[in-house]
């Protein structure tokens, strides 16, 4: 094998051809075995929950760590719920772990369990140096396992993120060794998760992801039943969209809503749609919903209504709203402002007033909180800076339980995770009360 056209033996030439044919033979067999495109599997939960309207709120976390952020939620097989979030001394610190807690409906509060993942456990499994952990997102796979995806960073900031995956066969008591999903060809840098995973009708799983290193754009991964990536689809490009949420209305129709990360007013949630199970997505466009470069979450009810939780304002994260759409996400109506400190005069608040206000909010959020002042003090550590104190209600994660009830978790002042639970009777009552007000 020396010179082109030179003295090369026929045997070597034949050997190269044999390598070529064997290599591509294996390649074509694998390619023919590829999983065909699937259809969405919309969650058709016909139940509306308990007939009596109810709306409850409580805290998931109890201030065990100074900083707490980015919760997600999954329903367990026995009707309990498990939440995940990342927490530590500060965002990006080496002591940040993926915390988890379990909630038993009807029996009071949340109970903290051992962390689902730590920097050390992730490093040991991946055989890579891990600098920090972030956003956990949990979903139920077709085989009944809980699949937990979370962000891990070896080098740099969040732009250097990769997605790590671990699974559990016992509803989160124990976890398999983590493995890394390879999602980009450039050192596998800059892929993060936030949106809720969803199932296709063939048992494969859709995982919305986003990139924020050079561009800010969204993609959709499709994982087979073993968790291997079998496809990736671009939902947007450029530098203006993050954290997609895919909402399937039927087996072919879905919309995706994305956090607006561009700087041009009006700042609106980005929306794209598909009518062919995601074979093609429409060009992403600004929707009617305001967005201050903040995450959102949503579910589709059995009657086709879409529920979204987001910061429905153009700047800040001090207001969090539940909104609904009857027409596939074209127009929206506000159901309730779950949190709203936008109208509070004199912002940013001085520390004393902030402690008073936040203490009241904590007590209103959870009547079982033993000392609301402790919650206010913990929040002030995160939310008070030189200019004063502010509020943040962000990173919502919304699911519908098998009994039809809606469960929401979100970051409360970067210090706690808050849980909101309501049924459709409350939703309908609320919508009848608001009438035609507050349309987008």
Minimum CB separation of residue 198 from other proteins in Å reads 19
Single residue of 106, 107, 127, 346 touching other proteins by CB under 8 A:
127
* Burial (CB count within 10 angstroms: exposed 0-12, middle 13-18, buried 19+), residue 17: exposed
Q: From CA 355, how far away is CA 352, in angstroms rounded? A: 5
Tokens read off for 175 = 């976890």
Single residue of 109, 159, 203, 215 touching other proteins by CB under 8 A:
215
The size of the interface with other proteins (CB under 8 A), counted in residues, is 59
Q: Which positions from 104 through 123 interact with other proteins, judged by CB under 8 A?
A: 120, 123
Q: From CA 221, how far away is CA 432, in angstroms rounded? A: 39
Minimum CB separation of residue 262 from other proteins in Å reads 14
Stretch that binds other proteins, among 1-9, 76-84, 306-314, 334-342 (CB under 8 A): 1-9
Q: From CA 362, how far away is CA 418, in angstroms rounded? A: 10
* Burial (CB count within 10 angstroms: exposed 0-12, middle 13-18, buried 19+), residue 47: middle
Single residue of 30, 52, 107, 385 touching other proteins by CB under 8 A:
30
- CA angle, 127 as apex, 123 and 131 as ends, to 5°? 35
Q: Is residue 22 at the binding interface for other proteins, with CB under 8 A as the rule?
A: yes
148, β-bridge pairs? 138, 166
- The secondary structure of residue 373, as a DSSP letter, is H
- The secondary structure of residue 429, as a DSSP letter, is H
Stretch that binds other proteins, among 21-29, 82-90, 192-200, 294-302 (CB under 8 A): 21-29
What is the Cα 31 distance to its own chain's centre? 31
Decide if 147 contacts 167 (C-beta within 8 A): yes
Q: Which positions from 389 through 428 interact with other proteins, judged by CB under 8 A?
A: none
Q: Is residue 288 at the binding interface for other proteins, with CB under 8 A as the rule?
A: no
Residue 28 or 54 having the CB closest to other proteins: 28
Does residue 74 sit in helix, strand or coil? Answer: strand
Decide if 76 contacts 102 (C-beta within 8 A): yes
Minimum CB separation of residue 217 from other proteins in Å reads 5
Q: Which positions from 222 through 251 interact with other proteins, judged by CB under 8 A?
A: 228-234, 237-238
Distances (CA, A) of 79 to 49, 199, 405: 13, 19, 11
Q: Is residue 217 at the binding interface for other proteins, with CB under 8 A as the rule?
A: yes
Q: Is residue 280 at the binding interface for other proteins, with CB under 8 A as the rule?
A: no
CB atoms within 10 A of CB 371: 11
**DSSP letter for each residue of 44-70:** -------SS--EEEEES--SSSSEEEE
Residue 184 or 250 having the CB closest to other proteins: 184
Minimum CB separation of residue 258 from other proteins in Å reads 13
Single residue of 140, 194, 211, 414 touching other proteins by CB under 8 A:
211
Single residue of 11, 29, 265, 435 touching other proteins by CB under 8 A:
29
Residue of 171, 164, 63, 177 lying closest to 112 (CA atoms): 63
Stretch that binds other proteins, among 13-21, 251-259, 329-337, 381-389 (CB under 8 A): 13-21
Residue 21 or 352 having the CB closest to other proteins: 21
Q: From CA 199, how far away is CA 247, in angstroms rounded? A: 11
Q: Which positions from 293 through 312 interact with other proteins, judged by CB under 8 A?
A: none
Minimum CB separation of residue 412 from other proteins in Å reads 33
First-residue to last-residue Cα distance in the chain: 70
What is the Cα 11 distance to its own chain's centre? 57
Q: Is residue 17 at the binding interface for other proteins, with CB under 8 A as the rule?
A: yes
Q: Is residue 26 at the binding interface for other proteins, with CB under 8 A as the rule?
A: yes
Single residue of 126, 142, 302, 373 touching other proteins by CB under 8 A:
126
Minimum CB separation of residue 183 from other proteins in Å reads 8
Residue 16 or 330 having the CB closest to other proteins: 16
Helices (H) and strands (E) in the chain, counts: 5, 27
Q: Which positions from 152 through 191 interact with other proteins, judged by CB under 8 A?
A: 154-155, 177, 179-182, 184-188
Residue of 332, 387, 321, 330 lying closest to 354 (CA atoms): 387
Q: Could you list the residues that contact other proteins (CB under 8 A)?
A: 1-6, 8, 12-13, 16-17, 19-20, 22-24, 26-32, 34, 120, 123-124, 126-130, 154-155, 177, 179-182, 184-188, 211, 213-215, 217, 219, 228-234, 237-238
């Amino acid at each position: 094998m020396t010179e082109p056209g030179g003295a090369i033996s026929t045997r070597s030439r034949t050997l190269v051809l044999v390598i070529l044919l064997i290599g591509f033979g294996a390649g074509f067999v694998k390619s023919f075995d590829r999983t065909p495109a699937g259809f969405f599997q919309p969650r058709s939960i016909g139940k509306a929950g308990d007939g009596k309207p109810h709306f409850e709120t409580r805290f998931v976390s109890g201030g065990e760590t100074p900083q707490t952020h980015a919760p997600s939620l999954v329903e367990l097989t026995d009707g309990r719920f498990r939440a995940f979030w990342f927490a530590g001394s500060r965002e990006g610190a080496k002591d940040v772990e993926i915390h988890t807690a379990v909630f038993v409906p009807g029996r009071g509060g949340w109970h903290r369990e051992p962390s689902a993942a730590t920097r050390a456990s992730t490093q040991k499994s991946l055989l890579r140096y891990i600098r920090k952990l972030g956003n956990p997102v949990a979903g139920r796979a077709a085989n009944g396992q809980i699949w937990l995806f979370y962000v891990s960073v070896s080098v740099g900031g969040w732009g250097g993120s990769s997605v790590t995956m671990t699974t559990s066969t016992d509803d989160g008591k124990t976890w398999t060794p983590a493995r890394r999903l390879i999602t980009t060809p450039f050192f596998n840098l800059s892929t993060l998760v936030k949106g809720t995973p969803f199932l296709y009708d063939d048992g494969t799983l859709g995982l919305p992801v986003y990139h924020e290193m050079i561009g800010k754009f969204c993609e959709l991964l499709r994982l087979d039943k073993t968790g291997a990536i079998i496809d990736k689809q671009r939902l947007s490009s450029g530098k203006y969209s993050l954290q997609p949420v895919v909402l399937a209305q039927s087996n072919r129709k879905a919309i995706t809503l994305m956090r607006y990360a561009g700087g041009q007013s009006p700042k609106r949630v980005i929306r794209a749609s598909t009518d062919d199970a995601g074979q093609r997505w429409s060009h992403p466009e600004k929707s009617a919903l305001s967005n201050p470069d903040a995450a959102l979450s949503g579910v589709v009810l059995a009657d086709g209504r879409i529920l979204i939780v987001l910061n429905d304002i153009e700047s800040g994260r001090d207001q969090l709203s539940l909104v609904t759409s009857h027409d596939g996400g074209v127009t929206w109506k506000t159901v309730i402002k779950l949190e709203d400190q936008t109208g509070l005069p004199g912002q940013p608040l001085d520390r004393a007033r902030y402690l008073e206000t936040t203490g009241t909010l904590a007590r209103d959020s959870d009547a079982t909180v033993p000392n609301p002042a402790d919650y206010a003090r913990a929040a002030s550590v995160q939310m008070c800076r030189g200019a004063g104190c502010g509020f943040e209600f962000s990173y919502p994660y919304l699911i519908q339980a098998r009994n039809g009830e809606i469960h929401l978790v979100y970051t409360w002042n970067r210090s706690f995770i808050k849980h909101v639970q309501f049924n459709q009777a409350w939703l309908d009552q609320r919508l009848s009360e608001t009438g035609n007000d507050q349309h987008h």
